Structure 1
Amino acid sequence: MRHSLRSSLFLTVAGLSAIWAPNALAQQADAAGDNDALIIVTGEGLDQTPASPAYDTQLIEREQLVSTSSGRIEDALAGVAGFQQFRRSDSRSSNPSAQGATLRSLGGNATSRALVLLDGVPMADPFFGFIPFTAIAPERLAEVRVTRGGGSGPFGAGALAGTIELESADAATLGSFGGHVYVNDRGGTESAAHVAGDLGDGFGVISGRWDRDKGFFTTPPADRVDASARAAYDSWSVQARGVTPIGDSMELQARGLVYDDRRTLRFDGADSSSTGQDASLRLVGRGDWQFDALAYVQARNFTNIVISSTRFVPVLDQRNTPSTGLGGKFEIRPPVGDSNVLRLGMDYRRSEGELFETAISAFTGAVRERRNAGGTNTDLGFFIEDDLLLGPLTLTAGARLDRYTIRDGFYVARSDDGAVLLEERFADRSGWEESFRGGAVFDAGGGLSLRAAAYTGLRLPTLNELYRPFVVFPVTTNANAALENERLEGFEAGVDFASGDIFDLSLTAFQNRVEGAIANVTLDPLTRQRRNIDAIEARGIEASLGVALGSLRFDGSLAYTDAEAQQDGAAFDGNRPSQTPAWVGGATVSYRFGDSGLIAANLRHVGRQFEDDLESDVLPAVTTLGLFAQLPVTDEASIVLRGENLTDEDIVTRNQGGSIDYGTPRTVWIGIRIGG
């Protein structure tokens, strides 16, 4: 049934191109000879402010997004040194709930400490805080702006480690029709299609993507058993987006996203699913009083079956985890003169969800417990920020005030016959938290600029951290309803130098400290618990370099971070936070030819890291090589070749007492790409 639905969706996307006018992207006002009446819509939010460069920001352009060796958005993001997920495996071979995104080695658990926005909408799951990377197709995007650090500011609570802003591509960038179909050496496929055209004086885009593969064995050959399974995946997503002008200075943007992702990990029957339906409306005004008004709603769900690694039977059925995200943002920029940009606004997010799971005896198959837990978190924020231009010097300062609530929390465990074994109702909590940030950028001339910034930030614990225990067999990690908010304090200084389109260099030194950091703390060999620890402190250097010599270009990024978890008297005091390498870097050499020909080779290195807070289980350093080649055969069609992990390195993604999982082995793709 799911295959039939996906096939119908893709036929619909392809078929719409036949009824959309061939000149759908032409401007009707030009045809009438009335150029003065031409209204241009962008589909974007308000422009970046003059002081945005004060914070350590890196732009990933569209060509970089669509030319990775894996075709995954997280692969493109990994080109920014300092970006990391909780585990090294990408969204094809990891449990969805482990897909937290963070920056600057401020990890330590699976929840995102970086705020990921798609067209201004937070993408984190309302219950878990993970990012549904399979639903974010790189070919739909125009660019990504990554700000490492920077505090919360006008971006909302949750931007603790930084902000990742994903911007959808408009119809002119995509072209009226496009798509691709690739197949790999395991028989897996990746297919995508879109149609785009006029929507009155604006534009509309419908796009779909379907990925499926029987996968690879994550378990080393020596450890496989009859129950060992490949990391199979089957996921699809469809997005519809429309942008239309209202008057001559406003535009209305609407977007809907539906996705479904299913995976199997390690053992037969260890299946998980992640589904979502998102919708948003955005009104952007570009007149004298600029404004950005956004509202969104998200419905998400997650299921997961845990299989015993000794008896290979189900021991936990996380059968249903429905959650809802509801929120919005309003920002206004009054006309205060050419030397000032003032931002005033507020934002709101409500996350509600609960889990339903069944614990099963590995010996008898009988139900041991039926559990139900959940709650509601809200955050209402008010912010003000001002940029002041003083010749070559730009100053910025801002403040934020958040009213948060953590309420309706509960946990109930029942026997198979319905008798209550444990029932807890947790006290509601609320409070006010303030955050500040400020910075400066000085244009020294000749392409050289100097910058410095200091900031604070806030992140609420997720419903998952508060109320849901989880098992990565045989280790159980317990929830903690008493968790407090995380608080960030940080500062940084950097230098940027650019020489036209030929050379650009960026260096940043930083120190960030997360007080009350939530970590998975080891209690005994089989038990951990989420707890607030004193702090995670990270200090380091980030560097990026780009050099263009005609058609040949080099891009490199490197980060070194000295990070430690701090807790007086604890066994882990002074250790590196779990899952955080000291060294991360990458380099890409690319050669462009013709109108659309491209060959690119990428080398990526991730340093040694540890599975747990006690540094008892090591994940060795690994260096991988990827390749992308796009070879035009007509004006609209190209042959594409991709290679992942071409040297077939063993990428250790999990190590719990010698029980190891591997990441993606050597994988080769070939296919055809049409249009933009």
Structure 2
Amino acid sequence: MALSLSMTARPAWADEDAADAEFGPADGVIVVTGGGLEQTPAAPVYSTREITREAMVSAPSGRIEDVLSSIAGFQQYRRSDSRSSNPSAQGVTLRALGGNATSRALVVLDGVPMVDPFFGYVPLSALSPDTLRAARVTRGGGSGPFGAGALSGTIELESADAETLGLVSASLLANQRGETEVSAAIAPRLAGGFAVLSGRWDRGKGFWTTPEDQRAPASVRAAYESWSLGLRSVTPLSPDVELQTRVLAYRDDRTLRFEGADSAIEGQDASIRLVGRGRWQFDALAYLQARDFSNVVVSSTRYVPVLDQYATPATGIGGKFELRPPLGDAHVLRMGADWRRSSGTMKETALSAMSGAVTARRRAGGDNSDLGLFIEDDWLLGALTLTGGLRADRSVIANGFYEVRSADGTLTERSDYADRSDWSLSWRGGARLALGSGIALRGAAYSGLRLPTLNELYRPFTVFPVTTLANAQLRNERLKGFEAGLELVPLEGVQLTATAFDNRIENAIANVTIATNLRQRRNVEEIRARGLELGAHAARGPLRLDGSLAWTDAEVRDGAASALTGMRPAQTPRLAASLTLGLVPAEGWNLSATLRHAGAQYEDDLQTDVVPAATTLDLFARIPLVARASLVLRCENLFDETIVTRNQGGSIDLAQPRTVWAGLRWGI
């Protein structure tokens, strides 16, 4: 970061006219975007939808998971958001291809994978919509340049530049419970480039996740406090090459269900990226991530700590290089390689529920790595777009171990697991044909790969009364799928889309019941999801409408003798829908209402307990005041719908009740 800032011609505040005079469009010398290479013609071939900045900063909750939920089929493992869930349950997926808490969708921020190196969850509270320009969600398996992990799809988050943010932007909101949300950014132009310093702080006493008739004296609200601080710089090195650097630090503390049941995540990320937009275009990226997780488990019968997972240090390191040679206007060829290594160690202490004494000290961990080589070509033939790509992955699972020591440190159990490696070939391809009159047809087929996480391989856990065992022998998940789509533009500003798909994950990792209150992570034969996705967008005058619906028939297949065969994967609804109606009566105004529905889903693999369907209505209003200031009003869950997030034998957790926010914004 220091190197990037030092390379600017003059590290001083510069107004827009001065920047244009030195590096501006009039000279035709340097154009700084702060983004990656342009999207290729392949994007419309797949089921890709873009969420605009206006939609992102209008989320009624102000959370990134709320923004992404406007794409039907997006879901976390549980319905609770990043204020009231255990962070390790924040795995995200698409197309009902879930079944456990690990992400099966690849989430990247400015090209950097954001999933935790040990658990595979996404640190959602560290991703503020206020500093983003757009989000692109591609449903369906990814291969090619997206890398391993994109089984159910890819979510690409792109940061906003200085022009979008303005020199200073900020917001301050509070709700009826006295909870607050503060964010701010300063984005000066530094000679030909720019820098963005941003921060966010959320805190609150939380709401009751436990229903009133199930509360105990130890029950508490879901209190939370999180902060994040980021610094990003973009520096032009030549008319066609720019250097981008980023550092991000964050921490999130939460209390769930009982007093003392505290969890925390923290991270420090850094990345450097070199983007070239000349004849030979290239994108070179390197990143380093240091993460940690802690969690205290409190007995639901005696209400005392029984497990202190006091540290889970993990490191992610990786990079990517992509090259696009000049082959003329008819071809866009992408070739390159990416590599990622994840390492981490779980450290926890088991405690007696009767005396509080230490009964065991446990450690587990290992190293996972993946090297991918890819090539993909888009071929433009007038109204027809063809695309195809291949990817080869060398995956390595190594240094895995699990050990138990007594209270005095004596080793009582130690397992060291054999290293293993594998080569896998993935592919994807498709076509899009524009028929004229606003009609287009498209079709695609693809495959993908995901390594089991260190958490799935080595860390057992208990959510009373159920214990889930790890499994060091888990195999890589493989996805194969295809889809066909129709696009209609009947009127200017109106677009309708329909996609039918059939996706299946072979060797899918699931939490499988093997005895009463005992499960183990195991590979099942496959999870298959078939369904239909509908989308609608309309912008006519001051009105806009965005709708998305996903109907998915998902089931587990594990042989005729298995009790799981024919079951729906845990925590996956059959129907999900979102509809937003917006009104912009005058410049600076923004009024919107969002109706969402999530169908019923099952808590566990054997469909013992049902998590009921829920329908919510959220509201947002931005009213301009003076200059760049505006009044913001938000309402989550207007009709106070009861939203169940967990139902384990009748023990229930709830999501956000009706919450009303009010505050001021400057420049957002």
Q: TM-score range by the shorter chain?
A: over 0.9
Task: List aligned pairs for 1:428-507, cutoff 5 A.
Answer: 428-499=419-490, 501-507=492-498
Task: List aligned pairs for 1:208-227, cutoff 5 A.
Answer: 208-227=199-218
C-alpha RMSD of the superposition: 1.3
1:24 Cα deviation from its structure 2 partner = 3.6
Distance in 1 separating the partners of 2:542 and 2:363: 59
Task: Specify the alignment match of 1:117 in structure 2.
Answer: 108
Question: 2:634 is aligned with what amino acid?
Answer: R
1:31 Cα deviation from its structure 2 partner = 6.7
Question: 2:553 is aligned with what amino acid?
Answer: D
Alignment partner of 1:590 is 2:585: no
Question: 1:112 is aligned with what amino acid?
Answer: S
1:623 Cα deviation from its structure 2 partner = 0.1
Equivalent position SS for 2:118: coil
Alignment partner of 1:388 is 2:373: no
1:593 Cα deviation from its structure 2 partner = 2.4
Distance in 2 separating the partners of 1:538 and 1:468: 28
Structure 1 residues 32-72: Cα deviation after superposition (integer angstroms, max 9, x where no partner): 99922542100010111112111100000001101011000
Preserved CA contact (<8 Å) 1:24 1:196 = no
Distance in 2 separating the partners of 1:393 and 1:443: 7
1:102 is aligned, of 84, 93, 96, to 93
Task: Specify the alignment match of 1:259 in structure 2.
Answer: 250
1:445 Cα deviation from its structure 2 partner = 1.3
Task: Specify the alignment match of 2:161 in structure 1.
Answer: 170
Task: List aligned pairs for 1:50-89, cutoff 5 A.
Answer: 50-89=41-80
1:27 Cα deviation from its structure 2 partner = 4.6
1:159 is aligned, of 123, 147, 150, to 150
Of 51-60 and 519-528, deviating more is: 519-528
Task: Specify the alignment match of 1:345 in structure 2.
Answer: 336
Distance in 2 separating the partners of 1:293 and 1:194: 27
Distance in 1 separating the partners of 2:62 and 2:632: 11
Preserved CA contact (<8 Å) 1:25 1:176 = no
1:525 Cα deviation from its structure 2 partner = 2.9
Task: Specify the alignment match of 1:657 in structure 2.
Answer: 649
Structure 1 residues 179-222: Cα deviation after superposition (integer angstroms, max 9, x where no partner): 10000010000000010111221111100000001001100000
Task: Specify the alignment match of 2:602 in structure 1.
Answer: 610
Question: 2:391 is aligned with what amino acid?
Answer: R
Alignment partner of 1:133 is 2:124: yes
Equivalent position SS for 2:188: strand
Distance in 2 separating the partners of 1:596 and 1:444: 38
Structure 1 residues 133-173: Cα deviation after superposition (integer angstroms, max 9, x where no partner): 00000001000000001422210000111100000000000
Residues 639 and 290 of structure 1: CA distance in aligned 2, closer, same or farther (over 3 Å): same
Equivalent position SS for 1:124: coil
Q: Give the share of equivalent positions with the same residue, in percent.
A: 61
Residues 37 and 547 of structure 1: CA distance in aligned 2, closer, same or farther (over 3 Å): closer
Residues 27 and 510 of structure 1: CA distance in aligned 2, closer, same or farther (over 3 Å): farther
1:469 Cα deviation from its structure 2 partner = 1.1
Alignment partner of 1:359 is 2:350: yes
Question: 2:465 is aligned with what amino acid?
Answer: P
1:433 Cα deviation from its structure 2 partner = 0.5
Distance in 2 separating the partners of 1:49 and 1:498: 21
Distance in 2 separating the partners of 1:484 and 1:554: 44
Equivalent position SS for 1:36: coil
Task: List aligned pairs for 1:138-153, cutoff 5 A.
Answer: 138-153=129-144
Task: Specify the alignment match of 1:250 in structure 2.
Answer: 241
Structure 1 residues 629-653: Cα deviation after superposition (integer angstroms, max 9, x where no partner): 0011112101100000010011000
Residues 26 and 361 of structure 1: CA distance in aligned 2, closer, same or farther (over 3 Å): farther
Residues 481 and 607 of structure 1: CA distance in aligned 2, closer, same or farther (over 3 Å): same
1:400 Cα deviation from its structure 2 partner = 0.2
Distance in 1 separating the partners of 2:17 and 2:74: 39
Q: Return 5+ residue gaps in structure 2 as ranges.
A: 1-10
Structure 1 residues 537-579: Cα deviation after superposition (integer angstroms, max 9, x where no partner): 0000001111223101111110000000111112121010000
Question: 2:616 is aligned with what amino acid?
Answer: T
Task: Specify the alignment match of 2:391 in structure 1.
Answer: 400
Of 181-190 and 440-449, deviating more is: 440-449
Question: 1:109 is aligned with what amino acid?
Answer: N
Task: Specify the alignment match of 1:240 in structure 2.
Answer: 231
1:485 Cα deviation from its structure 2 partner = 0.1
Distance in 1 separating the partners of 2:19 and 2:455: 51
Of 636-645 and 194-203, deviating more is: 194-203
Task: Specify the alignment match of 1:43 in structure 2.
Answer: 34
Preserved CA contact (<8 Å) 1:608 1:619 = yes
Alignment partner of 1:630 is 2:622: yes
Residues 32 and 367 of structure 1: CA distance in aligned 2, closer, same or farther (over 3 Å): closer
Aligned length: 657
Alignment partner of 1:199 is 2:181: no
Preserved CA contact (<8 Å) 1:299 1:325 = yes
Preserved CA contact (<8 Å) 1:30 1:38 = no
Distance in 2 separating the partners of 1:250 and 1:548: 36
Task: Specify the alignment match of 1:9 in structure 2.
Answer: none
Task: List aligned pairs for 1:548-587, cutoff 5 A.
Answer: 548-568=539-559, 569-587=561-579
Distance in 2 separating the partners of 1:501 and 1:265: 49
Distance in 2 separating the partners of 1:434 and 1:32: 45
Q: Return 5+ residue gaps in structure 1 as ranges.
A: 1-18
Distance in 2 separating the partners of 1:24 and 1:153: 41
Task: Specify the alignment match of 1:640 in structure 2.
Answer: 632
What TM-score results when the alignment is normalised by the length of structure 1?
Answer: 0.96
Question: 2:598 is aligned with what amino acid?
Answer: V
Preserved CA contact (<8 Å) 1:650 1:662 = yes
Task: Specify the alignment match of 2:326 in structure 1.
Answer: 335
Question: 1:601 is aligned with what amino acid?
Answer: A
Task: Specify the alignment match of 1:8 in structure 2.
Answer: none
Preserved CA contact (<8 Å) 1:56 1:150 = no
1:421 Cα deviation from its structure 2 partner = 1.6
Distance in 1 separating the partners of 2:492 and 2:282: 33
1:20 Cα deviation from its structure 2 partner = 6.9
Distance in 1 separating the partners of 2:492 and 2:39: 21
2:170 is aligned, of 179, 182, 188, to 179
Preserved CA contact (<8 Å) 1:25 1:197 = no
Preserved CA contact (<8 Å) 2:556 2:567 = yes
Distance in 1 separating the partners of 2:24 and 2:280: 31
2:287 is aligned, of 288, 296, 301, to 296
Distance in 2 separating the partners of 1:422 and 1:387: 54
Task: Specify the alignment match of 2:267 in structure 1.
Answer: 276
Of 347-356 and 361-370, deviating more is: 361-370
Distance in 2 separating the partners of 1:335 and 1:96: 45
Distance in 1 separating the partners of 2:93 and 2:195: 32
Distance in 2 separating the partners of 1:537 and 1:34: 51
1:449 Cα deviation from its structure 2 partner = 1.2
Distance in 1 separating the partners of 2:397 and 2:24: 59
Residues 560 and 375 of structure 1: CA distance in aligned 2, closer, same or farther (over 3 Å): same
1:440 Cα deviation from its structure 2 partner = 0.3
Distance in 1 separating the partners of 2:60 and 2:24: 46
Structure 1 residues 423-460: Cα deviation after superposition (integer angstroms, max 9, x where no partner): 00000000100001100011111222111000010000
Distance in 1 separating the partners of 2:659 and 2:23: 52
Equivalent position SS for 1:405: strand
2:363 is aligned, of 364, 367, 372, to 372
What TM-score results when the alignment is normalised by the length of structure 2?
Answer: 0.97
